A = this chain, B = another copy of it.
Amino acid sequence: MQISELSDRSGLTVQTIKFYIREELLPKGAAASTTRSEYDDRHLERLRLIRALREVGDLPVAAIKRILTAVDDEKVGMHELFGTTQHAIGPHVLPPDDPHWRAAREDVDALIRELGWQVADKAPARNLLAQTFVALRRLGFPITLTDLRPYVKAAVTVAEHEIDRVTGDAPRSRTVHSMLVSTVLYEQVLTALHRLAQEDASARRYGDE
């Protein structure tokens, strides 16, 4: 197909597609003449993935590029790809040199050890969680293990479901897409449903006041 059809079917402007080619997020089309390139379904599929990561995941182009480089490298295994994706998504909270921060990070590390979770030391979610511990303590709402329990349980249930959805006998490219979708898009599903459930709980408790 020509770039105009690729634009129609992906819902992205020709200008945006050319930008992604320049940024090496999308491979060039095959030269059909000196002025025209030919694109195929793989280009379309890639554009749809980029669009989802941009629009739903709100990821910067540089993060998407890091993810796609790992996706395209057949030597990269699923767990490594998962780590790359998490690292690209961020956010990378930079802990200040502060005793409250060190204590919170130790609490996070202890929690992960107690749960027996296999999580890399450099996983950005460790500091993301530590940041909330610091903020909650500062605000006079220190987090307790009892308070964390329902969150841990919810996270485990959802993660188990997700890993079951990803695995299967599909070819690598399909499994990889499925993993990206789980990590980036279903995180938004959980966030949106959490907010909706909070609103319902609030309406039932306070709605008549």
A residues sitting closer than 8 Å to B (CB atoms) are 45, 48-49, 51-52, 55-56, 58, 77-79, 82-83, 86, 91, 112, 115, 117-120, 123, 125-126, 128-129, 131-132, 135-136, 138-141, 143, 147-148, 150-163, 165, 167, 177-179, 181-183, 185-207, 209
Tell me how far the C-beta of A149 lies from the nearest C-beta in chain B, rounded to whole angstroms.
9
Number of copies: 2
Flag if A139 contacts B49 (CB, 8 Å): yes
Complex contacts, A201 vs chain B, CB 8 Å = 159-160, 162-163
Flag if A193 contacts B152 (CB, 8 Å): yes
Flag if B118 contacts A158 (CB, 8 Å): no
Flag if B56 contacts A158 (CB, 8 Å): no
**Dominant secondary structure at the A interface:** helix
Flag if A139 contacts B200 (CB, 8 Å): no
Flag if A181 contacts B79 (CB, 8 Å): no
Complex contacts, A125 vs chain B, CB 8 Å = 191-193, 195-196, 199
Flag if A192 contacts B82 (CB, 8 Å): no
Tell me how far the C-beta of A16 lies from the nearest C-beta in chain B, rounded to whole angstroms.
15
Determine which of B118, B156, B199 lies in contact with A117 in the assembled complex, contact meaning CB atoms within 8 Å.
B199
Complex contacts, A82 vs chain B, CB 8 Å = 198-199, 202, 206
Flag if B163 contacts A154 (CB, 8 Å): no
Flag if B155 contacts A123 (CB, 8 Å): no
Given A56-B132, A160-B201, 15 more A-B residue pairs with CB atoms under 8 Å apart are: A51-B138, A78-B205, A82-B199, A82-B202, A82-B206, A112-B196, A117-B197, A118-B199, A118-B200, A125-B195, A128-B188, A132-B189, A139-B185, A159-B200, A187-B191
